[in-house]
Amino acid sequence: MNLLALILVPLGGALAAALDPLRARRQVWLVLGAGAHLILLSLAWSGHLSGSRLLWLSFDPLGGLVLTLVSVVFFAVAIYSVGYFRREAPRGARVFEVCLLGFLASASVVCLTDDFGVMWVAMEATTLATAPLIYDPHDRRSIEAVWKYLLLCSVGIALALLGTFMLAMAQGVSVAAPSLSRSALLHAPVLHAVWFKAAFVFLFVGYGTKVGLVPMHTWLPDAHGEAPSPISALLSGALLNCAFLAILRVVQVAHACGQDRLLAPVLVGFGLASMLVAAALLLRQRNYKRMLAYSSVEHMGILAVGCGLGQAATFGALLHMLGSSLCKASLFFVAGNVLIEYRSKRIDDVSGLVRRLPVSGTLLVLGFLALSGAPPFAPFLSELAILRGAVQTGQPWVAAAFVVLQIIAFIALATRIVAMAQGGPETVKRRNEPAWLLLPPAGLLVLVLALGVYLAAPLQQVLAAAAATLGGSAP
């Protein structure tokens, strides 16, 4: 068997779901596809899946790490949507399951391919697969969200294509057949500095649009805020990381050809700007789903800062990618439970959550604490590693700005989460919370806790190996 199976399985699931008229059976296809993908991925980690010539698939620690995250989040989304759509039927009928599985297939290609061209195509495919999902409510607000999403991400992807052209150009005029294969670029003797710089700028801005880095973030809160909650979880927990992986692929090439110090200020600058704008906008949020979306912008900013700093911070950023994404997906699931119960996305309309939905309320508070970097959850470790990296590389001012912005974001989130969890009338009766809607967020939080309490040696090795290709080191 080879890595192609990781793409064919979700595609097969999508086909089965497309042909199946029965909603309940389509959900079985969805969960089966997600589960099979997860199992195949464990085979890939143990080295049982060989590379594939078709689509130039190969398995490396960085891509494997991101794909595992995507697969875990996707599995949780599949389970959660079974419960969620018993309460809220999707308008898109079978489009829903087909697009979800289509997203998994295209995200797998993004993570596994060795070729920048194929990665670009697959990245566009993820946009196309998620657009109908965002539009699922079929109302004014969701059409505005999906219009912005498509327009901005399409502009981004067009710029990324230009960047991809320039990457080929950077190999010089004399090269008869420039290659877009990453493994070839990693071992390319010399890349033309000016063309490579131009390529990096366009690839960074292009894929950065999809990551939601400021100032290209404007689509993100709309799309994440208006999409059905399981889709918001998928966008935040999986899609943003795929897009960030595309930037990391360029950083890998930059590191291999000794240009990485040139890119560091760009990553740190855009990262801090994202954290700043997100923190400022978090302070005035009245909608809890948009609040979580801005928090995603902030955390993508943290990843960019970490990867820009290098050394221990890169290791921290990769760990943070795992921790914060799992937290964020979990929080979006809880937001879905809140929305089902209160029928409003306004923070002012939600109070007494802990009394009305005790489990969801507790998960909301715990998820928020984990995301904010409270020990013993994983983001605590990863943010510490990023700060250590800032000091190691002699940039304490980055560490200072990082801490200040994190505190602002913490205060903004804390006041809103507390307002939602507490208060309300004392007499309110406890509502029934189905297990389908509780297990996915709880399971993801347990994973975040496990990552924080005990970072297993094999995982540590994988993180260190991935960080090493980006110019980082184990702390």
* Nearer to other proteins (CB atom), residue 106 or residue 395: 106
Q: Nearest approach, Cβ of 197 to other proteins (angstroms)?
A: 10
* Nearer to other proteins (CB atom), residue 162 or residue 455: 162
- Identify the burial level of 10 via C-beta atoms within 10 angstroms of its C-beta, where 0-12 means exposed, 13-18 middle and 19 or more buried: buried
How many CB atoms are located within 10 Å of the residue 212 CB?
31
- Identify the burial level of 460 via C-beta atoms within 10 angstroms of its C-beta, where 0-12 means exposed, 13-18 middle and 19 or more buried: middle
Contacts with other proteins by CB under 8 A lie at 117, 120-121, 124, 128, 131, 135, 138-141, 143-148, 150-151, 154-155, 157-159, 161-162, 164-165, 168-169, 173, 175-178, 180, 192, 194-195, 198, 221-222, 225-226, 281, 284-285, 290
Q: Nearest approach, Cβ of 192 to other proteins (angstroms)?
A: 7
- Contact in structure between 20 and 115 (CB atoms under 8 Å): no
* Nearer to other proteins (CB atom), residue 217 or residue 388: 217
Long-range contact set of residues 14-21: C-beta below 8 Å, sequence gap at least 24: 14/97, 14/98, 14/101, 14/102, 14/105, 17/94, 17/97, 17/98, 17/101, 18/94, 18/98, 20/94, 21/94
Q: Nearest approach, Cβ of 354 to other proteins (angstroms)?
A: 28
* Nearer to other proteins (CB atom), residue 7 or residue 150: 150
Q: Nearest approach, Cβ of 144 to other proteins (angstroms)?
A: 4
Q: Nearest approach, Cβ of 222 to other proteins (angstroms)?
A: 4
CB-based burial, 319-341: b 16+ in 10 Å, e otherwise: bbbbbbbbbbbbbbbbbbbbbbb
* Nearer to other proteins (CB atom), residue 140 or residue 429: 140
Q: Number of helices (H) and strands (E), helices first, in the chain?
A: 20, 0
User: What is residue 455's three-state secondary structure?
Assistant: coil
* Nearer to other proteins (CB atom), residue 1 or residue 151: 151
The answer to whether the peptide bond before residue 376 is cis (omega within 30 degrees of 0) is yes
Q: Nearest approach, Cβ of 288 to other proteins (angstroms)?
A: 13
